[in-house]
Homo-oligomer: A and B are copies of this chain.
Amino acid sequence: MLSESVKDCIRALVYLALNEDKKYLSVKEIASNLNLPFFFLAKNIQKLVKDDILESYRGPKGGITFKKPLEQIKIIDIVKSIDGDHLFRKCILGFEECSDENPCAIHRKWVPERERIKNMFSCNLKEIVEEVKSGKNIKL
């Protein structure tokens, strides 16, 4: 469903959002706190920087931070940036040209679900952070 890369990035961004007060957070710190492989995370984070979700700063005291308010960053943006948008767009049987006019055998069942998934991933980081802050036993 989601690639390892995306899972790591979502966790990293939730962690980052919980520490929004600090100006920049180093990828190293995030990786070590979430127990993620540093090089792998760093590479994936780069894509988010390119796609204007994060902004980075080199040097000591450097690191990453959000480029826009948490309310404007949706989980789906992270997924699209790393994995692309095929999950929210493509036929579940893999047909390139599957559509309402020319459906595959499962099209009518799948499309509504796909829309719901898209909708679920459209929640923003602010929402999630609020839930994490207020909830109990929530792991990052």
Report A's interface with B, CB cutoff 8 A.
Answer: 1-2, 4, 7, 10-11, 14, 75, 87, 92-95, 98, 101-110, 113, 116-117, 120, 123, 128, 131-132, 135, 137-140
Contacts of A11 in B (CB 8 A): 93, 105
| CB–CB A104/B139 < 8 A | yes
Which residue of B has the minimal Cβ distance to A123?
Answer: B109
Could you list 20 examples of A-B contacts with CB < 8 Å? Answer: A1-B87, A2-B94, A7-B94, A10-B93, A11-B93, A75-B106, A98-B139, A104-B138, A104-B140, A105-B131, A105-B132, A105-B138, A105-B139, A108-B131, A109-B120, A110-B120, A113-B116, A113-B117, A113-B120, A116-B116
